[in-house]
Amino acid sequence: MSVDEGRALGAWLGVVGRGVVRGVVGGEDDEDEDGIGDWNVVQNNGARAAQVVPHVHFHIIPRTDDVPEVKARSWTVFGKGQREDLDEDDAQVLLGRIRKSLRREVERVRVEEGEGALKLLLGEGKGGWKL
């Protein structure tokens, strides 16, 4: 990964983290940053770190209020249990909420941090991102 790619990932990680968590646990009109809850960001690098196919990706894991305290094991997916507990219909609803939340988070950057921050986030001048 190049330095520019790492910079772009770093710029997006907080935005995507807040957007995903708000989409998973926040209400439709939840504007309170503190109300979005806690989350983990995990990245595995290499076979001994459980990465089967070498590539860069991040896991954003919301920690909802209804999940018991995690000590040594943390496999709860979207506050519902194991991954197989999320059926296709629930997944589509959840995906819609996350998309809406991500759009709102990008708009929050524009309003609160300015057009310059938005241009930096979207990589304008370097091909940019399409939303």
Residues listed for the chain: 131
Check residue 98 and give its pLDDT. Answer: 92
User: Residue 73: pLDDT above 80?
Assistant: no
Helix, strand, coil fractions of the chain, as percent rounded to 5:
50, 10, 40
Confidence tier at 103 by pLDDT (50, 70, 90)? very high
Q: Is 78 within 8 Å of 59 (Cβ atoms)?
A: no
Read off the tokens for 71: 């000590």
Pairing of strands 59-63, 38-42: antiparallel
* Phi-psi category of residue 79: left, alpha or beta, with phi > 0 → left and psi -120 to 50 → alpha: left
Check residue 51 and give its pLDDT. Answer: 84
In this structure, the number of other CB atoms found within 10 A of the CB of residue 67 comes to 18
**Average pLDDT score over residue span 59-72:** 69
For all residues of the chain together, what is the average pLDDT? Answer: 77
Check residue 129 and give its pLDDT. Answer: 52
